[in-house]
Structure 1
Amino acid sequence: MTVRLSLETLAELPETVARPSYERSDLKPGILHIGVGNFHRAHQQVYLDRLFSTGRDHDWALVGAGLMPFDTKVKSALAAQDYLATVVAQEAGSSTARVTGPMTEFVEPGDPQKIVDRLADPAIRIVSLTVTEGGYFVDPSTGEFDPSNPKIQADAADPDHPQTVFGVILKALKGRRERGETPFTVMSCDNLPHNGKVARDAVMGLARQADPDLATWVGETVAFPNGMVDRITPATGDRERRIVAEDFGIADEWPVFCEDYIQWVLEDKFTAGRPALEEVGVQFVPDVSPYETMKIRILNGGHAIIAYPSGLMDIEFAHEAMETDLVARFLEKVEREEIIPIVPPVPDTSLDDYFALIKTRFANPKIADTIRRLCLDGSNRQPKFIIPSIRDNIAKGRDVEGLALESALWCRYCFGVSDSGREIEPNDPNWDRLTERAKAAREDPSAWLAMADIYGPLKDEPRFAEPFARWLKMLHEEGAEAVLKTYLGD
């Protein structure tokens, strides 16, 4: 027997399922979050649920919001269960379920003005974001905000009718300024290097075009803290809904599955206060940069290293990739020789221990993180997770054989067919462009590296371009398995 998740049925849940120890009626909104996806519910919402369960800071509850068509489905699913979520944390030998409830409402999607209106409430003191790595209008070739993006140009020309997240934020901040109210903090929770700066550049870049005086005020008064977020959180499907029903007796339309590990490192820079998240494990530090670099290079870069050979070899899950000797050794060699040696020191952290933890996390069979998810959106992820390591190695006179092979594997994956002949379905917002380039690169590898928005001047760097071309040719002729054996010296 399963219990349909709602506030009314919380007491009927099995005793093995943890649930909020606070009353929903005691919560008052203090944060509006844009982009209510799985990661947000497995991360920020979990921390807030823990904090509210201590009996404090109940005036920092969440209001959900979104601007994408998918957000209508999100709102409908969550509203039907009173915005509660079943979060299943999994280790190799155990699984625990907890119902979390820090979200109290969801702004009706489809109308940006409704978010602006909700942000007129001075009780909302933080706007947090998970809008994906590609949602910040960054030019991948420079790593800087792109003011020429058509959507940004449209919001700059008509700031009273914004369509982008940053147009909405700017209009809401303008209203705060006109009313003489304290502005809210803008807190990115996306997996980006210097995510606070990236969010600030987007808001400020739009403001400079639309209203230079407002831009000055935003620059002087609004906080954009940098943060490093970490928790492996796969997508939800029928498998996850079935497990929640069969193992925990809960009928949840959108449960969240994640690893047991969780981390959030955050700068203590807030315009109008913040919840006491340090009480539940959030690390507040003066500079997040070392933690960001460590995580993005070793973990996210590591995901890319195992993803593309696995995609070509028809491996379905990350833990299966780690069980595949060639893939696991490929990860070990590239990390040890080309990534970890150029990661700057991190306070009170052993990079070797961190990498050992990463391998354990990747190998967790309970997570069932798909290789397809790890391969997703390479055009936005490669410039952030892989290219910086290539550049740093070259600047130090170091070889990049392994990272060049990773880039060749990505190119070969975007060719659209695995080594067995299985079609690879579109898996990137720029899939058509990538596929066209990948097919051209079979005869002319420079056609792939000519994507300046991704590779920049690396296309003219022989220490990268030459091994890339060699590996790509071999991948087409011999396949990923044979190439990995060659790289590993088998």
Structure 2
Amino acid sequence: MNIIPYNYDPNTIESGILHIGVGNFHRAHQQFYINRLLADKDQHGWGICGVCLLPSDQKIVENLRSQHLDYTLTVFGRDGNDEIYKVGSLRELLWGIEQPAAVTKKIAERSIKIVTLTITEGGYNLDKETNKFNLDDEKIKHDIENPSQPTTVFGFIAEGLRKRKENRGGGLTILSCDNLQHNGSTAKKAFLSFMEAQDKELASWVATNVTFPNSMVDRITPATTLEDIKRLDQISGFNDKAPVYCEDFCQWVIEDNFIAGRPALERVGVEFTNDVAAYENMKLSLLNASHILLSYPSFIKGYRKVDEAMQDDTICRYIRDFMDIDITPYVPAPGNTDLDQYKQTLMERFGNRSVSDQVSRLCFDGVSKFPVYIMPNLSKMIDDQKDLSRVAFLIASYRHYLKYKVDEKGLSYEIAEPWLTVDDKKCIASDEPIDFLDLSAFKSIHLKRVEPFVLLYSTFVNRIKDQGITSVLISAVH
């Protein structure tokens, strides 16, 4: 298959964006848009300087540097039409472990107008119960006390902005690209809380010189395994150490609030608006919530690929009923969106065999995802005395997944929950099912006090343990 090359001279591109968190999603989404935009000569100031901050980022940094930061992006279409792009919009790549001073110096440069972020839902360091910034975290304490030796994203950005302020480099925009409702407002709260504790003068400057637009991002992008690398290189004929693949659907909606200017991304399909909230609500309530709904029951049943799980009629019915019955009443359609078509497209996207997302990726960090994707609408459902059975089954499945670590086929597995607290682990270990409802992920609602929910949940816990998840799911959706 032919690779679609980028049609600009990379030597003419200057970095105007600094991005923290150079993972697969960023390289399939933001880089994809910028790569297309750079075909326009008047946009050559919007290349991207990537920044990685974790020790575990060493391999991706080395692999990208070995191929001059270029990589291939394979877009698998639902209709069987696939495309491979060579992406060259990543013009610089800094590793904070190796070059901490270079990172803060780059943030301070006047040419950088926007700092974008993909640091995951849990990366904003907000307490799940109080929604306050956690100043007791040891790494945060270190960065507050040692401004010139940052280790966290908050420390690095604060030190970079401090230098920018001292150098009179002008304001900039911090744009979250994470799957959080009101992600810009969340980022603003987190960064200003950190700066208030570290340097009140800097916090005051940031309040008037830095904007935090909200945004909504969407493109299913699986993790890339060693087997995927071999498969993708075979398709492309390109020896790429860091290939990425994704679905053909792609969406980016951004609040138009950029203090230092922005790229003309509307030319390549990005939608700018004064109110992102309706788009966020639709996407997080339907796509992300449905991903969680699919993840734990499917994994316990033994499925490891999302498209395989979507061949299971019972799982499809469970998800579609959740969308239609539980969630649609709380999702006003934004703009000209046809909500029925949007939901049908979601089902097609989940079943895209070429993308074949990992169920384990959807299971990852549930304790950070439930508060964002499930609890807000569950609260409304409780207030409106709606049927709680599908969400009760989900939470019972989540407990089973965390507690027993053996699927229905007898295969053991490791869970990946980096943000579990000591108290969370006690909730999981308890043999009393109701104790699990004290998990930090559920703290926004006192579920123990919701008698209809407790009754449904407790029944599902016992039935899943005694009968197996397949039997219980079949009875739950019919």
RMSD between aligned alpha carbons? Answer: 1.6
What aligned pairs does 1:155-304 form with structure 2 within 5 A after superposition?
Answer: 155-304=143-292
**Shift, 1:83, TM fit:** 0.6
Equivalent in the alignment of 1:100: 87
Tell me the amino acid that sits aligned with residue 437 of structure 1.
C
Tell me the amino acid that sits aligned with residue 486 of structure 1.
S
Equivalent of residue 437 in structure 1, options 418, 424, 427: 427
| Structure 1 unaligned regions, length at least 5 | 1-13
Tell me the amino acid that sits aligned with residue 455 of structure 2.
E
> In the alignment, is residue 461 of structure 1 matched against residue 450 of structure 2?
yes
**Shift, 1:465, TM fit:** 2.3
Q: Is contact 2:105–2:163 with CA below 8 Å preserved after alignment?
A: no
Distance 1:51 1:305 in 2: 36
> In the alignment, is residue 382 of structure 1 matched against residue 365 of structure 2?
no
Q: Is contact 1:167–1:203 with CA below 8 Å preserved after alignment?
A: no
> In the alignment, is residue 414 of structure 1 matched against residue 387 of structure 2?
no
Equivalent of residue 401 in structure 1, options 381, 385, 389: 389
**Shift, 1:436, TM fit:** 5.1
> In the alignment, is residue 391 of structure 1 matched against residue 379 of structure 2?
yes
Q: Is contact 2:122–2:419 with CA below 8 Å preserved after alignment?
A: no
**Shift, 1:400, TM fit:** 1.5
Equivalent of residue 321 in structure 1, options 309, 323, 331: 309
**Shift, 1:192, TM fit:** 1.1
SS at match of 1:474: helix
**Shift, 1:430, TM fit:** 4.4
Equivalent in the alignment of 2:323: 335
- TM-score (structure 1 length as normaliser): 0.93
User: Alpha carbons of 1:318 and 1:417: their partners in 2 closer, same or farther (altered >3 Å)?
Assistant: same
**Shift, 1:152, TM fit:** 2.2
| Structure 2 unaligned regions, length at least 5 | none
Q: Is contact 2:3–2:84 with CA below 8 Å preserved after alignment?
A: yes
Equivalent in the alignment of 1:70: 56
Tell me the amino acid that sits aligned with residue 4 of structure 2.
A
Equivalent of residue 33 in structure 2, options 23, 28, 47: 47
Equivalent in the alignment of 1:4: none
Q: Is contact 1:29–1:59 with CA below 8 Å preserved after alignment?
A: yes
Tell me the amino acid that sits aligned with residue 67 of structure 1.
L
User: Alpha carbons of 1:284 and 1:432: their partners in 2 closer, same or farther (altered >3 Å)?
Assistant: closer
Equivalent in the alignment of 2:473: 484
**Shift, 1:146, TM fit:** 2.6
Equivalent in the alignment of 2:19: 33
What aligned pairs does 1:115-130 form with structure 2 within 5 A after superposition?
Answer: 115-130=103-118
**Shift, 1:344, TM fit:** 3.0
Tell me the amino acid that sits aligned with residue 136 of structure 1.
Y
Percent identical among aligned pairs is 36
SS at match of 2:169: coil
**Shift, 1:435, TM fit:** 6.0
Q: How many residues are paired up?
A: 473
Distance 1:214 1:431 in 2: 32
Superposed CA offset, 1:167-222 (max 9, x none)? 11111111222222212211111111111111111110011111222212211221
Q: Is contact 2:293–2:394 with CA below 8 Å preserved after alignment?
A: yes
Q: Is contact 1:267–1:287 with CA below 8 Å preserved after alignment?
A: yes
Distance 2:39 2:391 in 1: 45
- TM-score (structure 2 length as normaliser): 0.95
Superposed CA offset, 1:425-463 (max 9, x none)? 1222146966653342xx311211112453342232223
Equivalent in the alignment of 2:351: 363
Distance 1:206 1:47 in 2: 31
Equivalent in the alignment of 1:147: 135
Equivalent of residue 438 in structure 2, options 436, 444, 450: 450
Q: Is contact 1:268–1:285 with CA below 8 Å preserved after alignment?
A: yes
Q: Is contact 1:414–1:431 with CA below 8 Å preserved after alignment?
A: no
Distance 2:203 2:212 in 1: 14
SS at match of 2:18: strand
Equivalent in the alignment of 2:460: 471
